[in-house]
């Protein structure tokens, strides 16, 4: 039984949890020490930490929903900025960065895409210009031929068509 507990403690998650608990104990110990020895310095450090945390949250390149959530957490005195410092930044591991670079270097395009571009360039220069500008915005996009789409101005028309298609 003791071996199992030791194995759990030394696993990846157990080790991470142990390090986080140790970090929390050290930070709270530091805050208690500063609170007793130099209360004005302690309050100043807390205010500066909160301001820096809020500025970094606002300046992050994430979705507004994510920012608002972390701002609500950061406004909780003492615990908020600490929680953000511990869990707010999602850093990729070296392995994940390597995989992303590998994926970025791959080109996922259909073999006939280049032929379609050439045909379109010869037959309709205006359409080719539009498609070229659209493809420059999304390098992973592709073009296809012999496809059809239907525009539905409202949801009711689309619903009727969907029901008809489901009955087939």
Q: 6-38, pLDDT tens digit by residue? A: 676 677 777 778 888 898 888 788 878 877 888
Split into its structural domains, the chain has a count of 2
Does one domain contain both 66 and 132? no
pLDDT in tens, 68-84: 998 898 888 777 887 88
Burial letters 133-166, b for 16+ CB under 10 A, else e: eebeeeeeeebeeeeeeeeeeeeeeeeeeeeeee
Burial letters 81-105, b for 16+ CB under 10 A, else e: bbbbbeebeeeeeeeeeeeeeeeee
* In a domain? residue 50: yes
Does one domain contain both 71 and 107? no
Does one domain contain both 77 and 126? no
Provide the domain limits for residue 127: 103-144
154 — alpha (psi -120 to 50), left (phi > 0) or beta? Answer: beta
Does one domain contain both 72 and 12? yes
pTM score of the predicted model: 0.42
Does one domain contain both 16 and 77? yes
Q: Are 150 and 161 in contact (CB under 8 A)?
A: yes
* In a domain? residue 166: no
Joined tokens for residue 50? 């909160």
* In a domain? residue 60: yes
* In a domain? residue 110: yes
């Amino acid at each position: 039984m003791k071996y199992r507990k030791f194995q759990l403690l030394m696993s990846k998650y157990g080790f991470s949890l142990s390090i986080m608990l140790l970090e929390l104990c050290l930070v709270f110990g530091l805050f208690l020490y500063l609170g007793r020895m130099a209360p004005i310095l302690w309050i100043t450090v807390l205010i500066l930490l909160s301001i820096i945390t809020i500025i970094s949250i606002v300046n992050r390149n994430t979705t507004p929903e994510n920012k608002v959530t972390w701002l609500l957490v950061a406004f909780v005195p003492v615990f908020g900025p600490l929680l953000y410092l511990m869990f707010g930044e999602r850093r990729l591991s070296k392995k994940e960065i390597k995989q992303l670079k590998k994926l970025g270097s791959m080109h996922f395009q259909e073999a006939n895409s280049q032929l379609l571009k050439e045909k379109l360039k010869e037959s309709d220069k205006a359409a080719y210009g539009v498609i070229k500008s659209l493809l420059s915005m999304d390098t992973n996009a592709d073009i296809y031929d012999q496809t059809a789409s239907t525009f539905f101005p409202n949801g009711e028309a689309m619903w009727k068509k969907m029901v008809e298609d489901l009955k087939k």
